[in-house]
Structure 1
Amino acid sequence: MNAQLASLTRIAAAPSRIIIGLMSGTSLDGLDIALCEFSGAGLETQVKVLHFVTMPYTEDFKEDLKSVSFKTQVSLQKVTLLNAVIGSYSAELILNALKEWGYPAASVDLIASHGQTIFHAPVSLHQQNVYPNATLQIGDGDHIAVQTGIITLSDFRQKHIAAGGEGAPLAVYGDYLLFSSPDENRILLNIGGISNFTYLPGGRNPDQVFSTDIGPGNTLMDQFVQRNYPGKYYDQDAAIAKAGKPSRALVKALADHPFFKQPFPRTTGPELFNLDYLQQAQLNSGQESLSKEDILASLNEFTAYSIVTAIQQSIHDQSFQVYLSGGGMHNPLLVQKISEGLGFPLKNTEELGIDPDAKEAVLFALLANECVAGGQTDFGRRRGVPSVTMGKISLP
C-alpha cells in the first residue's frame, strides 16, 4: 500500500485527530486558521479548538483577489496563477501560525481548506437551464499538502453540487452535528459576506433541519466602504452607518428583487449583491443623491430586514434561540436591528462552546473529519442537504 494511504488509514481509525480548518470569506480580510482536536464522528463528534487566529492578507494580495472575484469576465491567466499562489500562500500562513503556537506540523493529521470563492453560480442566478449549478473555489490543495507535509482536503463544495445541492450553504452539516439540542430550538445565524442560517429544532430529527442562504450579510456594506472610503475595508463598529439615516424608499427598492421571492432553501453571492445592484435600487427609488452615510445606514437596515424577514418566513409558530457567528456579529447596529426585529436578544456560539469567529473554519475541519472517519450520518431528505461526505484528498 502507498505509505501516504496507509497513514490516512491510521488517521481515520485513530481515536482522535488533529485537524486544521481554513476559511477565507468574501470579505477578503485574511485566512482563518483553527487548530482543532476531534474525536468520534457523526452525532458523536467532539471537538476542542486548541488555537485560532486570523492571519491578515497583505494589501497587494487582497487586490489580487478582488481582481478575479465575483466578476463574469476576468483574466484566465490571473485565475490560473492565483490558484497556485493561494495554495502556496495558505501553506505559508499555516506554517507561520504553527510556529507562533509552538505546535509542530508533524503533529497535525489533516488540513481542511475551503479555498477562495471567486464565483458562485446556481441555476437560480445564471438562469441558463442547459447548465447545472456551479461554483468555483481556488487555492490548490496539492500546494498546501506538499509545502506543509500534511494531508489536505479541499474543494468541498463540488461534491455537494454533484449530489444535487447548490454548493451552499454547507454550514448545516457541522451545525447539525455540533450544535443540535435534544430540547432547544436553535437558529445558527452566520453573517459573513453572505448571511445564512441553519434551523435546528429540538430533538435532533434530521428531516426537520433547515438551512438556507438569506441574502447579503456584510458584502454590500463592505463593497460600499471599500469604494468610498480609501484605506477602509469595512464600517468598523458601524460608525459610518450610525452617522446616517436609512432611506425607507431605498431599503424597499433593495428588497424588491426576484431573489427574495424564490423558495427556500436558496443560495446567492456577491455576483448578485454588488454595487451595481445598489446603483439600480437607487435609480428605481429616486435616491441617487443620498449622502454616503445615509446609503450605508440604508444598507445596514436592508441587511437586517432581509435576515429578520427570512427567519420569520421560514420558522412558523416556534420559539427559538438565535446564536450568531461571522464578521457581521461585530456590527453593533446590525445586531441591534436584527434583535429588535425578532423581538429578543441574540446570543453567539461562544455559549455553545465554539468561538464564533472560528466557527466557519472549525466547520470545514469537521467536514474533513467526516470525510475520513465518518460518512454514516443521515442528514435527512430536505432539498439542498444531500447525505454525502465532501472534500478532495491531496497527499504530501
Structure 2
Amino acid sequence: MNKQLEKLYRIAQKEERIIIGLMSGTSLDGLDIALCRVTGSGSDTQLRLLHFTTVPYTEDFRNQVKQIFAKKQVDHLLWSTLHVKVAQVHADMVNASMKAWGIRAADIDVIASHGQTVFHAPKDPINRSDQPNSTLQIGDGDHIAVKTGIITVSDFRQKHVAAGGDGAPLVVYGDALLYTSEVEHRILLNIGGIANFTFLPNSSSYLEAYATDLGPGNTLMNQYMQLHLGEEMDRDGALARRGVVHEDLLNVLLSMPFLTSKFPKTTGPEMFNLVLLQEAMQRANTENLSHADVLATLSEFTVHVIVDGVQRAVRELDSAAIYISGGGLHNPYLLQGIQKGLWGYRVASFNEIGFDPDAKEAALFAILANETIAGAPEHVAHINGSPAVCMGKISFPY
C-alpha cells in the first residue's frame, strides 16, 4: 500500500484528529487559520478550537487577486500563476502560524483549505440558463501539501456542484452537526462579503435545516470604500453613521428580483458589485450623493436584506434565536440596524453558543475535512437543498 494512503487510513481510524482549517472570504482581507481538535464524526462530532489567527494579506497580493476576482474576462497567465501563488502564500502562513504556536507538521493530521473564491456562477434563479452551476476557488491543494508536509483536503465546493448543489453556502453541514439545539430554533447568521444564514430547527422539529445566501453583507460597502476613499472598509460604520439614507436609491436596490426569490439560493460579488450600484444610482438620479449618504444607504440595504430574510425564515415559528458571526459583527452601526429590525428576537454574537465567531468558518471547513476522512454522506442527509456528500480533494505531501 502507498505509505501516504496507509497514513490516511490510520488518521481516519483515530478517535480524534488535529485539523487546521483555512478560510479566505470574498472580502480578501486575509487568511483565517483555525487549529482544531475534532473528535468523532456525524452527530457525535465534537470540536475544540486550540488556536486561531487571521493573517492579513499584503496590499500587493490582494491587488493581484482582485485582477481576476469576480471578473468574466481575465489574464489566463495571471490566473494560472495565482492558482499556485495563493497556495504558496497560504502554506507560508500556515507554517509561520505553527511555528508561533510551537506546533510541528508531524502534530497535524490534515489541513482543510477552502481556497480563494475568484468566481461563483450558480444558475440565475430568475433567468434560468442552460449552463451548469459552477464555482471556482484557487490555491492548489498539492502545493499546500508539499510546502507544509501535511495531507491537505481542498476544493470542497466542486463535489457539492457535481452532486447537484450550487456550491454554496457550505456552512450548513458543520452547523447542523455541531449547533443543532434540543430546545431552540436557531438562525446562524454570517455577515461576510455576502450575508448568509443557516436555519437550524430544534432537534424535535419536523422542519429541515438549510442554508441560504441573502444578498450583500459587507461587499458593496467595502468595494465603495476601496474605490472612492482608498480604505478597505468603513470601520465601525463611522462614515455611514454620518450620512442620510436616500430612499429612492434604496428602493431601486431593493427591487432586485434575486432578493425575493425562494430559499435556498446563492450569490456573490459577481451580482452585487459597483456596476450594480452605478446602474441603481443612475436610475434613482442620485449620482451626486455624498460618500456618507451612499454608505448610509448601502448599510441600510444590507440591514433590510438580512432582516427581511430572517423574518421570512422564522415568521411561522413561535420563537427563534439569531447568532451572528463574520466581519459585520464588528460594525456596530450595521449591527444596531439589524437588532432594531429584529426586535423581539434574541440577537447575539455567535460566541454565546460557545465558539469564537471569527474562527467559525475556518473551523467549519475542518469539520468538512473530518467528514471526508472519517465520516459518511448519510450524516448530512437531512439538510434541505444540499446533497448528501463528503467534499474535498485529497493531496499528499509526496
TM-score, normalisation: structure 2: 0.97
Contact 2:21/2:364 (8 A) holds in 1? yes
Q: Percent identity?
A: 53
Query: Aligned pair count?
Result: 395
Counterpart in 2 of 1:312? 311
CA drift at 1:381: 5.3
- The question of 1:358 aligning with 2:375 is answered no
Query: Superposition pairs for residues 159-238 of structure 1, below 5 Å?
Result: 159-203=159-203, 208-230=208-230, 232-238=231-237
* SS at 1:88 equivalent: helix
One-letter amino acid matched to 2:186: R
Query: Which residue identity does 2:72 align to in structure 1?
Result: T
Q: 2:37 aligns to what?
A: 37
The answer for the alignment partner of 1:106 in structure 2 is 106
Q: How does 1:339-378 map to 2 (within 5 A)?
A: 339-343=339-343, 344-378=345-379
Task: List aligned pairs for 1:271-286, cutoff 5 A.
Answer: 271-286=270-285
Instruction: Kindly provide the amino acid, as one letter, of the partner of residue 297 in structure 1.
Output: A
**What SS does structure 1 have at the residue aligned with 2:271?**
coil
Residues 126 and 33 from structure 1, CA distance in 2 versus in 1: closer, same or farther, beyond 3 angstroms? farther
Q: Secondary structure at the match of 2:221?
A: helix
Paired residues of 1:206 and 1:379 also in contact (CA < 8 A): no
Contact 2:126 2:257 survives alignment (8 Å) = no
Residue type of the alignment partner of 2:324? L
Q: CA deviation at 1:130?
A: 2.6
Corresponding residue of 2:290 = 291
1:320-345, CA deviations, whole angstroms, 9 ceiling, x for partnerless residues?
00000000111111111111111145
Question: Which runs of 5 or more structure 1 residues have no equivalent in the other structure?
Answer: none
Superposed CA offset, 1:17-39 (max 9, x none): 00000000011110000000000
Could you say what the CA RMSD is over the residues aligned between the two structures, in angstroms?
1.4
Q: Is the contact made by 2:160 and 2:391 (CA closer than 8 Å) also made in structure 1?
A: yes
Q: Does structure 1 residue 261 correspond to structure 2 residue 266?
A: no
Give the deviation of 1:249 after TM superposition.
Answer: 1.2
> Which 10-residue stretch deviates more, 123-132 or 180-189?
123-132
- Indicate the SS of the match to 2:67: helix
Cα deviation 1:117-142 (Å, max 9, x = unaligned): 00000111795633100000000000
In 2, Cα distance between equivalents of 1:387 and 1:174: 13
CA distance in 2: counterparts of 1:376 and 1:24, whole angstroms: 25
Please report how far the alpha carbon of residue 172 of structure 1 lies from its aligned counterpart in structure 2 after TM superposition. 0.4
- TM-score, normalised to structure 1, is 0.97
Q: 1:25 to 1:235 in 2, by over 3 A?
A: same
Aligned runs of 1:56-67 on 2, under 5 Å?
56-67=56-67
Give unpaired runs (5+ residues) of structure 2: none
Any runs of at least 4 consecutive aligned residues in structure 1 with deviations exceeding 2 A, and if so which? 125-130, 204-207, 314-317, 376-384
Q: Which amino acid aligns with 2:360?
A: K
Q: Residues 224-278 of structure 1: CA distance to partner in whole angstroms, max 9, x if unpaired?
A: 0000112x10111111111111111111111111111321111000001000111
SS in 2 for 1:131: coil
